[in-house]
């Protein structure tokens, strides 16, 4: 059962871009993630809390642009949050551009530094697109996991500014967004510890124009049939902070994640072997901007979009030219 905890007005405005999150004990990452998406142009957030005990629930209840829901149901019995997410999207996302993310994920897209999310969605509308595919780009620091201390009041990108530039591989699949990406830092880690567990998929489709019949099928990795934009954006993924060892141990004990938390079991195995290692390798590069990811082939733009973005820049208003911070 999902229970709403706030009484804030939700306007009937289809121009609003709405974000949806399922959270549990995210006080360390959530403030940065909310700030980042506010700066892009998300108008309001719909947050479902699943038994947080670290002050997360109290924090979101104080946020004027957050509508708060709670459930005590088991995460594993909700198809790992998909049932909850689809229910909220059907109730509050219909007809809207919606962004469905985890608390440790931050959306960026080509020229996000100059083009607001509202303008970006207007472009997607103009080409008839209904969803945006993304590379889930694992971010990490040049310190040990234990030494990667994050201040919730600061940008996560300043704490974890590095990523693997290669290798990645893409394969076509039958379900939207019709692609699946593997590779990057976590696949590298899984090979290093020689686990038999398959490395996680690093592709998602979090930005969707929600309409009747739309459904996420497996997290935001796959969804029902939609027209996918001929672009590739990125979700910056901030999993590896100094709380990660403890979080991995907790999730292994809970067993609520996919396949009895087998991915967290691999992380715990890695940390138990060497918790003083860093993730830096010869393929590590420091994040600069969206243009860098396009140059590296980790995001993809198009001639039509670049023309659109140029028109946005020519309008020259401070709103469109501001540099976003997270």
pLDDT at 249 over 90: no
Q: Tokens 């990645």 correspond to what residue? A: 168
> How far apart (Å, rounded) are the C-alpha atoms in residues 40 and 290?
14
Answer yes or no: is 286 within a domain.
yes
pLDDT of res. 322: 36
What is the rounded average pLDDT of the residues 46-64? 97
- Give tens-digit pLDDT for 186-211: 999 888 876 767 778 999 999 999 99
Say how far apart CA 251 and CA 80 lie, in whole Å. 13
Who's near 194: CB < 8 A, 6+ residues apart?
Answer: none
- What is the structure's pLDDT at 321? 35
Q: Which residue in this structure is represented by tokens 């994050």?
A: 150
Q: Which two tokens stand for residue 323?
A: 């540099």
Burial class (CB in 10 A: 0-12, 13-18, 19+), 127: middle
93: its two tokens? 């996302």
What distances in angstroms separate CA 34 from CA 60, 152, 326, one per listed residue? 10, 11, 8
pLDDT of residue 103: 98
Distance CA 256, CA 201 (A): 19
Q: Tell me what the pLDDT averaged over the chain comes to.
A: 91
- Sequence-distant (6+) residues with CB within 8 A of 246 are none
* pTM, 2 dp: 0.92
Contact in structure between 266 and 195 (CB atoms under 8 Å): yes
166, 233 Cβ separation under 8 angstroms: no
Here the tokens at position 301 are 């733009």
In a domain, 36, yes or no: yes
Residue 299 lies in a domain: yes
> Is residue 319 in a domain?
no
Residue corresponding to tokens 């990667």 = 148
What confidence tens digit (pLDDT) does each residue in 276-303 have? 778 999 999 999 999 999 999 999 999 9
Residue 320 within any structural domain of the chain: no
Q: So what's the pLDDT on residue 1? A: 87
> What is the domain range of residue 29?
3-313
CA-nearest of 6, 9, 1 to 68 is 6
324 within some domain: no
DSSP line for 147-181: T----TTS-HHHH--EEE---EEEEE-SSBT-EEE
Considering the domain boundaries, does residue 211 fall inside one? Answer: yes
Domain count, the chain: 1
- Does 323 reside within a domain? no
- pLDDT tens per residue across span 58-107: 999 999 999 999 999 987 778 778 999 999 999 999 999 999 999 999 99
What pLDDT score was predicted for residue 319? 42
Contact indicator for 222, 216 with CB cutoff of 8 Å: yes
């Amino acid at each position: 059962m999902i229970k709403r905890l706030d009484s804030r007005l939700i306007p009937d405005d289809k121009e609003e871009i709405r974000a949806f999150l399922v959270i549990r004990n995210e006080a360390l990452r959530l403030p940065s993630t909310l700030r980042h998406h506010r700066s892009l142009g998300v108008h309001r957030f719909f947050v479902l809390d699943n038994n947080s005990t670290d002050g997360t629930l109290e924090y979101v209840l104080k946020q004027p642009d957050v509508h708060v829901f709670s459930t005590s149901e088991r995460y594993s019995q909700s198809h790992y949050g998909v049932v909850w997410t689809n229910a909220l999207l059907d109730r509050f996302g219909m007809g809207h551009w919606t962004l469905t993310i985890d608390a440790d994920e931050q959306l960026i897209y080509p020229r996000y530094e100059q083009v607001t999310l509202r303008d970006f969605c207007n472009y997607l509308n103009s080409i008839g697109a209904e969803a945006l595919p993304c590379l889930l780009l694992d971010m990490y620091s040049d310190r040990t996991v234990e030494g990667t201390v994050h201040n919730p009041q600061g940008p996560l990108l300043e704490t974890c500014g590095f990523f693997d530039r290669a290798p990645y591989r893409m394969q076509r699949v039958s379900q939207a967004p019709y692609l699946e990406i593997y590779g990057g830092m976590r696949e590298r880690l899984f090979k290093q510890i020689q686990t038999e567990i398959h490395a996680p998929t690093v592709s998602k489709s979090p930005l969707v124009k929600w309409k009747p019949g739309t459904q996420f099928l497996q997290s935001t990795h796959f969804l029902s049939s939609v027209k996918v934009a001929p672009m590739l954006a990125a979700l910056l993924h901030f999993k590896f902070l100094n709380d990660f060892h403890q979080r991995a141990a907790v999730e292994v004990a809970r067993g609520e994640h996919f396949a009895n938390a087998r991915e967290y079991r691999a992380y715990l195995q890695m940390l138990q072997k060497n918790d003083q290692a860093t993730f830096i390798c010869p393929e590590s590069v420091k994040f600069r901007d969206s243009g860098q990811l396009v140059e590296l082939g980790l995001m993809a733009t198009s001639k039509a979009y670049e023309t659109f973005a140029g028109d946005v820049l020519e309008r020259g208003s401070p709103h469109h030219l501001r540099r976003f911070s997270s």
